[in-house]
Amino acid sequence: MSNITEQEILQKLCAEIALITRRPIENICPDAPLGENGIDSMSFLELLIFIKKEWSIDFLSEGLSPSFLKDVNALAERIREVLHS
């Protein structure tokens, strides 16, 4: 799992955000904030649960800096950092 690239993480995050928000994946913009991609507080919890199941990263316990939530790219980058730490 540690060999996963940031691009692969980003693709999985975008697919999950599309599923959660019921938007076409083409409408998910990695450079846009999560809120602009349709993620609200409840769907954010769904996304955190997905991250825990997919990569065994528990951001609910560890917490996330606001900089990691700037956009989908930043979140993917943080996941990659945790996987390689």
Distance of alpha carbon 31 from alpha carbon 58, whole angstroms? 23
Q: Who contacts 49 (Cβ-Cβ below 8 Å, separation ≥6)?
A: none
Question: Averaged over 51-63, what is the pLDDT?
Answer: 89
Half-sphere exposure of 17 (CA within 13 A, CB side): 28
Decide if pLDDT at 82 tops 80. yes
Taking each helix axis as running N to C, give the angle between helix 6-21 and helix 41-55, from 0 to 180 degrees, rounded to the nearest 10.
Answer: 140
Question: Averaged over 29-37, what is the pLDDT?
Answer: 94
Q: Domain 6-83: which CATH class?
A: mainly alpha
Torsions phi, psi of 70, nearest 5?
-55, -45
In terms of pLDDT, which residue wins out, 20 or 59? 20
Decide if pLDDT at 1 tops 80. no
